Each structure stands twice: as C-alpha cells, then as structure tokens.
Chains A and B, each alone.
Chain A
Amino acid sequence: MYKEIVTEIIGTGLHSADEVEVALLTSESVSIEMKRSVPAYAGESFGTGLIIRVIDSGRIGSSSTSTIADWRVCLDSAISSARLAEPVPWGGLPDPVPLKGESLSFDSAVKTDPDIALSYCNRLLEGASAYPEAEVVGGGAGLSLGSVLLANSKGIWYEEDHTSVSASLETIADQSTGFEYDRSYSLDIDPFEIGRRAAELASTSRNGVPIETGTYDILLSPVAFSGLVASLLQSAVNGRSVHMGRSFLAEKLGEVIGAEHLSVIDDPFYPGGLGNCRFDAEGVPTRKNVLIEDGVLKSFVYDLKTAYRFGKESTGNAARGGVAGGVSIGLHTLVFSAETMQEPGEGHCISINDVIGAHTANPLTGDFSVEVQNAFIMEDGICQQPVRKAMIAGNIFEMLGQITGMGPTPRRVGSVIVPPVRISGMRLVG
C-alpha cells in the first residue's frame, strides 16, 4: 500500500516541481524501564513518518508528517517551502545505482520481544550485584526495528532496515554515581558487564581525594573523549559550516591539526558501526571519508546542495536533521585511531571516565572547561585513588595535537568508535 502512495506522491509532485524525493520511515520498539531495581514501565511504540522534498529551479523545499494518509497536505507544504528558499545551482538528484549487500545496521535476530528486554534487565542487576554497596537508581533495556524507503523521481527505490538493542544502568554509592550503557544493532551487548561496570564506577569513586591545580597527563575514556570531541569535530568538518565561514578548520585543509599519528575516518562500513548505511538521506551511495590522516586535515563532508553550491562533490553525508525533515550534513560512523599504547595508563596520569557539561564547550573555537566524573589518579594503568572534584579546561582542537596514543581496544560509543585516549599537558583545576 505504501509503495503505491510513494509512486503517487512522486507523480503528483512532478506537476509542480522539477524533482521529487520521498522518504518513508517506520519504527517499532519495546522497552522496560526500571526505577531502582524494579521494572516500573513496560512499553511499546509504533510510528511512521513521511518526508517529502521537492526541487524546483534550484529551490529546495521540504515537509514531513507522521500521518502518511495526509500526504497531499505535506506535498503542498513542501512546494510552498521551495518557493521561499533561496535557489542554488542544483545539478539534480542522484540516479539509481545497484546497492551492494544487505542493510548494514540490521540483525534479523532482533525482535521487539519484551521477554528479551526483561532478561536484559535481570542481567544488568546481576552484574551490579558484584558491588552491593552500589544501589541501583534506575536503568532499562530496549529493542527496536526500523525501516527506510527512499524513492525519487530519477528512479531511485532504496530500502534499508535497521535494528537497535540497548541497555543502561545508573547506580549510586553514598554520594558517588555510576552510569554505563551500550547500544548495538545486534544482540551482542553484554548487560551483565554494563551492570557490573555501572556499580563498579559508583563504588570505586567513593571517598575521593582533592587534587592540586596543575598540568597533568590524562587518560580519557571513549565515553569522555567522544562526548568532548565528536560533535565539535562533526560541525567543524561540515562542508556548509566550512564554506559559510563558521568552522575553525575552514582554512586548514592540508595542514597538521593533530598528533602526527592521529587518524579520523568517517566509515559507514565499519563492522558494528551504529551509523552504518549504504546510501545517505538523499540517496547518494555512502563511502569511507578520511577526515584526518597522520594528523593532517584531509577532507570535509558534503551533501548534494552544499557540494553543488561550492563546486565539490557529495561525500554521501546527507542526514535528516534539517528544518521540516530537510537535509543537513552529518557523519555516519566516526572512527578514531592513533599510535597504539599497550598500556595507555602507563606512568602517572588522571583517568577520566566521563565529564559533566561536554555540550557547553564553545562550538566554534573548541574552548571548554568541564567537570570530571568518575576520575581516578592512575599509576601504570591501575586506578589508585578517586578524584573528588576537578575541572578540566583547554581547547579541543589543541587537545588533538596533545594525543600521545590510544589503548589497544576501541569501544563503540553511539556512532563513534574510539579506544581510551592518552593526552599530555592538560590543565586541571582542583
């Protein structure tokens, strides 16, 4: 039924616009949420979404609706939206190409089965019981299925399914808190380990000691590093920000911007990557884009509109994040690597598991000062004493140049892949 509607939308839209693109999204999920250690909410969700984009004489309009039956209202709205937009030198929506392989972030074993969610909740609690002094504050588990159908007036008809499995636990021991989570497209998360780690963090962070204000080597966990760096880097390599003069990296292509062994790749095919997909939000086949190689800034990322406007080519990085379901520029799976240190906590350093206020960093310049969370004085990789309170201050771009190395095992944090990161010379205010 949906297929007929999509064909009808494209046909009708072509009466008023040069090109039409339709995305039809479906999703369903189940989840169980615990309050303290008791399942308190058990729920399910069902949703659909329709996004229509039209392009007429270089003017791009969009509209979206949750009610597919109301597609005519949505189409009219997209056409009005196009009339208002400033025209760009548009070179056309992409033509269809054969897509290789199957959906990349999909596991057919994932079902929206509440029993799986419940068993995950139980495993979270079993894991946490290793540290009885840590009380469970809350947590839960969820499973979801989704699909995307992308069609356009050039004949593209792409379908992709995706799945998501997640679990998290929050704990407290005295006035010390712990949180851990994981999300995957597959049933390979380990809720026992998530629960154990959440309780361990709260338990071992108790009785923190003050530290002297000064300059330290730090070991940022994958969670702390991605919280500070990922969204800032994403906006700095965004082609639109770059060409509009809103990126710190705008003039730095080909320059050294990080440690000489640092590489950052947007890799939509990275095994297990949560942002993986074969085509982007406007049907351009995705590709691996090297952003930073050996410390040198190699490339920016583009959608079609920005690419046409500034004489570049789309890098397959169109995302659905714009006004009225329109397109913005985004990354898929951001993979960080650097010189491998067998023991990134070697010698003396401060290990930082998370930070409070990562989103308050200056989005333009990268200057930040945030509070550490679950930080420890570390000697040769062993946490010696928890740090009661400290602020870490610096500049995120400068920090990229101070990376000494990374641990041997990368971790998945949302759509970021990164091992623990050792950074020298960071200022901590005790």
Chain B
Amino acid sequence: MDSRLRYWDLRHVSGEHTGIDIDNGEIESAGVTFFSKAIIRALGPRGWGIVAVSPFNPDDKGALRDYLLRAEKAAVVTAEDVVLADAPDRKLLPVPPVKEDPTEIPLEEKGTLLMQITEAAKVPGVSNTRGTYTERFEEVTFLDSTGYEVSYTTCRSGFSVMAIAKQNGAMQMGYVRDHRIDGLNLRGRTDDGIRAGTRAVALLNARAAKGGRMRAVLDPELGGVFAHEAVGHASEGDLVKEGASVLKDRIGTAIGSPIVTIIDDPTMHAFGFEPVDAEGVAGKRTAIIEDGILKRYLHSRETLAAVGNGDAGHARAMPGDLPIVRMSNTYIAPGDARYDEMIEECRDGILLGGSRGGQVDPGRGVFQFNAEFGYLIEGGELTEMVRDVSLTGEILSTLHAITLCGNDLKMHPGYCGKGGQSVPVSDGSPHILLSEAIIGGSGDV
C-alpha cells in the first residue's frame, strides 16, 4: 500500500462480551458489551508506528490508508532497528469443535444455570455466595502487507463461584472457577458450587500457616502457577532481548533437576489456545526446559530475529492492543510418581493447593504465589489444614529442588497480566515435590 513502509499489519477484533453477576441468589446484573477494535502496526525505516482505533470499520478502505499514513508518521521518532524473522507457519491451526455454542443459549437460561451452581454453594455455614459468568465472542481478522489474510472466531466462556462462611466473627472464602474454549460449561456443574462452599467452611477451622523453609508438595493447579511464574515469564523472548530475564544466555545449561520438562503449547485445545497468534503465525509446542536443560525461548517474529533459540507464534494481544510475547498453555510434563508416594516421600512438610495468583520479577529472578489452602504433612500423612500460605523462590535455584513429578497432569484456565494486557491462558502440572521451599504465612506455630 505504501512503499516507504517495510511492513505493516492490521489486527481487527470485533465481538460481544457478555456478563452475568449473581449476588446471594439474585441476578444483580446481566448484559452485553459490543466492540470493534483494531491495531495497525507499521514498520518504518527503523521501528514501529502504531495506531489503535475503536471503533474500527473494516469496510472503510480509506480509513486504513489514513491510519497507515499516521502510523508511518509516528514511526519517524523510533530508533530501534527492528527485524522480523520469517514465519512460515502462516495458516490457521484447527479450532477445537464446540460442543454447545454459548452464543446460541439465551441469557436467561445461562442465568438460571449459573444460579443453580451458586445456590449449590450454600452448604451449612455459608452466609453469602456470588457467581459470575463471562462469555467472550470474538471475530478476529489479521492481514498484512504481504497480502496474507486470515479470519477466525472464538468463544471463550466460563464461570466462577464464591462462597463465604462465617463463624464467631471469623470469615473465610472458597472459590471455584472454570473457563473453556470448546463450549458452554454451565450444565451439571453444581458440584463446583458445593466444593466452593465446603472449602469456605473448612477454612474457618484452618490455622494460619507458619512461614519458613520446608519440603512442599504442590497440587496440579499450584504446580501450574509455579511453571507459569517461575519459568514461563522469564523465558519470554522480549524480556530476554531487553536483558530483563535471568534466563538470558543460559540456553543449553541445566537450570533444573533432570526430571523437569516444561512446555508452552499454543496448539493444545485448552483455554490459552489461539488458531494463530497476534502476528498471524500458527503456534507450535515449545519445550522450554527438557530434562532440566533450558532449550528454547518463547518468541514473536521480532524477538526470534533478535535472540534466536525458540519459536515464533507466541505473540498475543487483547483486542486493540499491541502483540507482546506471552504464554498460552504452560505445563510441567508428568512423571511417574504416584500421589501417595509423594506425600510419603515428603514425610514432614506442607501440601499447597489452589491458587490466589502470583507474580514474578524475571530480571531479579524471584517469584511469589499464593495458595488457597494447605495441609501440614507429618510423618508422611496429611494432618491439619492451614490457610493463607504462600511460596517464594529464586528461579535459578528452585527448579533444582523438584525431586518428584507425579503422573496426574491437569490444566487450569486463568488470565495472565503483562504490560497492562490480560489474556486467557492455562497452566498445569502434575503434583510435584520440592525438597526445599520458602513458605510464607502469618502464623506463629
């Protein structure tokens, strides 16, 4: 379209986001947001010129020309020499078949189904429940200056249910969520409500955990957060390129015990799946760590050209936002240990389960995440329940502490924040045993 631009692309996302909020058995609100957002990236002689517009009208060809002129003008002040790696995988990955299309189900019916899950959380001892449903239907079109164009639609939907239990002035909460990319997940899920309610009541009698260094078993949900926070972010090519990751210059070195293999797989039909990434590149399964050795980084076309060692296809973006290097479906590969064996082997320590989120400073190499609950392990058996327990560690030493990987890999959906953008991901792991972990808690004994 304009010969002075080395390259340009356009990513247009339009769609509808639907939400339902149920508070203590009443529909508090339910409704739809409509949007049409686009981002245009144009590569001038040096760096990127960017134009983000909302709303974007794809039928207005004059508008695109105008935006490209603006982007070209904006790029003048940039000074970085951006080079894009070739990305041959420019076709859509097969999209998982949808079992029951959420967009075809009336909002009223979804409200009724969510109500059933939320009401199920009202087990004895529970004083308040809340349920939310979110549905994101998105039509994505990507096109670039080479004439390449792809379009696809996705619909991600899911729910969360929260229960609060009260007793003698104390309160605790239980929380269960599930989000999917392959269809409505609201039917037959009242067990999840019961689980949230039961957890809230159980936590009332749990003690605050005492911090310190000890052996720890992480459940698959928390093990997944561990893979995501302790390894995933630090392997993102943009951080490596900018010198902000402790994994820089460590390809080929042992950064974990030989039983540790960690993979990011955008092709997996889990919540982080995308048919192509935000640069129109089909993702591939990227083994970041194989048998304890750092093998590959996650890349965009730009960071692949600058850093090497890894795969493009890991650039992701919220509608109307810039693509940045992100994880998709990240997991610790299963081993052959049985759960009972791991608790027995742990002997004295702590089992941590569920996730309240985490954060990492990849440059410093330090991460933190918080469990929803824990159990003390004494003499190879689970004993008392504990609450409000967290784990921190240093990326370069913690992976060496993984001494057993279970055979029970499970993925958990969630959202990951980076650079002000939140994108759907999933994390997973089997149960894992850490020979030493730094556990945080406010308890005294």
Contacts and interface: CB of A to CB of B under 8 A. Distances in A.
A393 B55 contact: no
Interface string B13-33: 000011111011011111111
A63 B33 contact: yes
B241 to A, nearest CB: 7
Contact of B32 (A45, A49, A324): A324
Contacts of B360: 356
Interface in A43-66: 43-49, 60-66
Given A176-B364, A177-B244, A67 B36 contact: yes
A96 interface: no
**Contact size range, A:** 35 or more
A154 interface: no
Contact of A42 (B54, B74, B387): B74
B70 A44 contact: yes
Contacts of B50: 41-44
Given A43-B52, A177-B361, A364 B34 contact: no
Nearest to B372: A362
Contacts of A137: 242-244, 363
Nearest to A115: B77
A66 B387 contact: no
Given A38-B79, A369-B440, A86 B28 contact: yes
A139 to B, nearest CB: 10
Contacts of A81: 29-32, 107
B107 A80 contact: yes
A360 B390 contact: yes
A325 B29 CA distance: 10
A392 B306 CA distance: 38
Contacts of B438: 389, 391, 429
Given A64-B34, A357-B368, A41 B322 contact: yes
B108 A175 contact: no
A174 to B, nearest CB: 10
> Interface of chain B, helix or strand or loop or mixed?
strand
A99 interface: no
Contacts, number: 262
Interface string B172-209: 11000000000000000000000000000000000010
Contact of B30 (A323, A358, A361): A323
Contact of B388 (A170, A322, A368): A368
Interface in A151-179: 170, 172, 175-177
B359 A359 contact: yes
Contacts of B31: 61-63, 77-78, 81, 323-326
Contacts of B364: 175-177, 373
Nearest to A390: B392
Interface in A226-279: 240, 244-246, 248, 251
Closest 8 CB pairs of A and B: A324-B31, A43-B50, A369-B440, A360-B370, A323-B19, A81-B31, A357-B368, A45-B52
Given A77-B31, A324-B31, A356-B368, 11 more contacts: A39-B47, A39-B80, A40-B47, A43-B322, A245-B24, A323-B29, A324-B19, A324-B33, A361-B370, A365-B172, A389-B392
